[in-house]
């Protein structure tokens, strides 16, 4: 376990004591080929703490970080240990929804606040919503819904769709189809962690689409885009996806094969607002790297928690009061307008981005326009909270 005691004072069992740091447990993916996703969430979160002088909302905090290895069972073990051994009352960090569904429902049932910086399964957004569960990133369907709307608006009549066979993959394709005004000419689920896409590319060739929508985060997306380019299909078929498969680290790992890819995101490094300019500058100064969406989501998770800590004076003895403060938390997000909806998921804008080759030979996403304004997820109406 990595403990990051960025605040003054020692650890203690009573996290709400004013003279002791509030412990925050972060279960995230730091290993496997997708390990950089969790590392970026961690780094964004830590940047906010460092900017606060070891505190969030003026309240000293201690961040406890452990790697779930993208394993649901291990994630649950870590969460239990954080709660039972370390007295953690606030948790965050999970990347993959299969891990999230093994951890988040039990955590909130056990009386712990969970603030997701990424995983947003539909099961937690609708009937399974909970006053202690929050998400600062998205509901899994959101970015894919936006690309379904884009494909419709762009007149793509024959689209082939694919995603891994796990909760977020199913949400991805459901979201795309919800806003795509057409019938996909092909639909397939791949294995989670798959590296060879020869069979899928052959199926795409046979379907003769004018567009391919894919959700393949991390190394899966790198392998698919390279193989898709090598097949020659990229010359006649528009590749579209979401930010999950198109952050600048992925794009540059793929290289020129990713140039021109269109994707959706709730944030981009080039969004033109003062808060975002300051965030990107600070992140690059701290880590010598351009932030990814995961970095930004980790940063916003920390800011949201900080706003609630400030409102409650860091007192976690009444978690209902803390959850209420978090629900109405006001903070300046680099993405621009943000608020929690009825189900504690974001209400936000979704942008269209394009992978553009820069003068220095690197690829960067550039915002092309806004697809949705103040988007509310499709499951909020099923949530019984007010």
- Condensed to tens digits (0 to 9), the pLDDT of residues 275-320 reads 999 999 999 999 999 999 999 999 999 999 999 999 999 999 999 9
CB 201 within 8 A of CB 228: yes
Under CATH, to which class is 141-265+350-375 assigned? alpha beta
Report residue 58's pLDDT band, with 50, 70 and 90 as the boundaries.
very high
Whole-Å CA distances, 375 to 122, 129, 287, 294: 15, 18, 32, 20
Question: pTM surpassing 0.85?
Answer: yes
The residues near 153 (Cβ < 8 Å, ≥ 6 apart) are none
pLDDT score, position 17: 45
How large is the average pLDDT for residues 129-145?
A: 96
Report residue 49's pLDDT band, with 50, 70 and 90 as the boundaries.
very high
- What kind and span of H or E run contains 326? helix 319-327
Q: Is 1 a residue whose pLDDT tops 80?
A: no
CB 79 within 8 A of CB 111: no
The residues near 344 (Cβ < 8 Å, ≥ 6 apart) are 129, 130, 131, 133, 134, 135, 327, 385
Crossing angle of helices 35-51 and 274-287, rounded to 10°: 110
Q: Which architecture, in CATH terms, is 22-138+272-340?
A: 3-Layer(aba) Sandwich (3.40)
Q: Is 11 a residue whose pLDDT tops 70?
A: no
Report residue 69's pLDDT band, with 50, 70 and 90 as the boundaries.
very high
- Condensed to tens digits (0 to 9), the pLDDT of residues 254-268 reads 999 999 999 999 999
- Condensed to tens digits (0 to 9), the pLDDT of residues 196-225 reads 999 999 999 999 999 999 999 888 999 999
What are the domain boundaries of the chain?
Answer: 22-138+272-340, 141-265+350-375
Fold equal for 22-138+272-340 and 141-265+350-375: yes
Report residue 2's pLDDT band, with 50, 70 and 90 as the boundaries.
low
pLDDT score, position 245: 84
- Condensed to tens digits (0 to 9), the pLDDT of residues 21-38 reads 999 999 999 998 889 999
pLDDT score, position 6: 45
- Condensed to tens digits (0 to 9), the pLDDT of residues 341-350 reads 999 999 999 9
CB 207 within 8 A of CB 185: yes
Q: How far apart are CA 184 and CA 333, in angstroms?
A: 36
Q: Is 240 a residue whose pLDDT tops 80?
A: yes
pLDDT score, position 4: 54
CB 33 within 8 A of CB 90: no
204 burial type by CB count under 10 A (0-12 exposed, 13-18 middle, 19+ buried): buried
Q: How far apart are CA 4 and CA 28, in angstroms?
A: 15
Between 384 and 5, the higher pLDDT residue: 384
Report residue 249's pLDDT band, with 50, 70 and 90 as the boundaries.
confident
pLDDT score, position 138: 94
């Amino acid at each position: 376990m990595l403990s990051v005691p960025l605040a003054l004072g020692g650890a203690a069992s009573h996290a709400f004591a004013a003279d002791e740091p509030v412990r925050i447990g972060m279960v995230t993916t730091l290993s496997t080929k997708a390990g950089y996703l969790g590392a970026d969430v961690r780094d964004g979160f830590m940047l906010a703490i460092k900017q606060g002088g070891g505190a969030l909302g003026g309240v000293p905090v201690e961040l406890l970080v452990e790697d779930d290895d993208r394993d649901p069972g291990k994630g649950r073990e870590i969460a239990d240990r954080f709660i039972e051994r370390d007295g953690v009352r606030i948790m965050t960090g999970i990347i993959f929804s299969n891990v999230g569904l093994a951890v988040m429902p039990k955590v909130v049932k056990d009386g712990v606040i969970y603030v997701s910086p990424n995983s947003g399964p539909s099961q937690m957004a609708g009937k399974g919503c909970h006053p202690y569960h929050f998400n600062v990133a998205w509901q899994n369907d959101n970015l894919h819904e936006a690309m379904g709307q884009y494909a419709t608006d762009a007149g793509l009549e024959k689209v082939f769709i694919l995603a891994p066979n796990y909760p977020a993959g199913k949400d991805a394709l459901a979201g795309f189809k919800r806003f795509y005004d057409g019938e996909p000419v092909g639909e397939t689920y791949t294995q989670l962690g798959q590296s060879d896409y020869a069979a899928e590319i052959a199926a795409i060739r046979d379907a003769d689409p004018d567009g391919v929508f894919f959700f393949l985060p991390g190394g899966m997306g790198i392998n698919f885009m390279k193989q898709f380019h090598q097949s020659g299909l990229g010359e006649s078929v528009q590749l579209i996806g979401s930010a999950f498969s198109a952050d600048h680290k992925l794009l540059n790992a793929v290289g020129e094969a990713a140039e021109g890819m269109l994707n959706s995101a709730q944030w981009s490094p080039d969004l033109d607002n003062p808060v975002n300019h300051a965030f990107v500058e600070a992140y690059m100064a701290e880590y010598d790297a351009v932030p990814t969406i995961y970095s930004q989501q980790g940063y916003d998770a920390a800011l949201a928690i900080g706003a609630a800590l400030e409102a409650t004076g860091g007192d976690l003895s009444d978690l209902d009061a803390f959850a209420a403060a978090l629900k109405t938390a006001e903070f300046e997000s680099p993405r621009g307008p943000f608020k929690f909806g009825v189900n504690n998921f974001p209400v936000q804008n979704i942008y269209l981005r394009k992978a553009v080759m820069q003068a220095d030979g690197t690829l960067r996403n550039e915002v092309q326009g806004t697809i949705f304004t103040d988007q509310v997820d499709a499951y909020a109406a099923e949530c019984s909270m007010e």
